[in-house]
Amino acid sequence: MRLSLLGAIAAALALAGCATAPIAPPSATMETLRSVQASGIRPIQVGVFRPGPGLPPGRDEAINSRAIKIKPLFGGSFSGYLKLSLATELNAAGKLDANSPLEVTGLLTESELHSASFKTGSASIAARFVMTRDRVVIYDKQLRVESSWRSNPLGGIAIPAAINGYNSLYPRLVRALLEDPEFVAAARS
């Protein structure tokens, strides 16, 4: 429902001539909660998340959907939003601990949104996640997720769909990390 509400807000902003729209705050998902609880991983602290070296300038702060700039209001940047998304999922599962010897950091390496087509929109994000135990690297991997959806020539329909499609990638990327067998093995030890 939050995504639909934000989509409606974005459509209203587009029709009113405003140039920015927010993405929904991160929230835990039941699928990831169950998966994390069943995985047996130890509590983890979430460290620094920042843009990766290949991310185009400004792409960490905003991304465009037609004439609208989409910005994260939570986390301050898209890399910060990814960090907050991971912390939200871990906290919901009782696996977030600021004093844990296990720490996950991340680099947002890709943030793409293609919504100019009248038929199909698409988006993708990727990040390099590094987990350390007492500052020794025990996991280092890049993960990527993508999405596509039906678009529309009308901005009032296409822009909310693009916001929803893009925003849905963050919980999917976090879930891909938390369900990655290599990550789970490292976080159990």
- In single-letter form, the type of residue at position 188 comes to R
pLDDT tens column, 121-177: 899 999 999 999 999 999 999 999 999 988 887 878 888 888 889 999 999 999 999
Among 62, 92, 94, residue whose Cα is nearest residue 75: 62
CA dihedral 43, 26, 60, 47 (to 10 degrees): -10
- In single-letter form, the type of residue at position 33 comes to L
Domain boundaries defined on the chain: 2-188
> What is the reported pTM?
0.87
Is residue 102 within 8 A of residue 132, CB to CB? The reply is yes
Handedness of CA 45, 189, 127, 20 (dihedral sign): negative
pLDDT tens column, 65-118: 877 888 887 878 999 999 999 999 999 999 999 999 999 999 999 999 987 777
Q: What is the CATH code of the structural domain delimited by 2-188?
A: 3.30.160.150
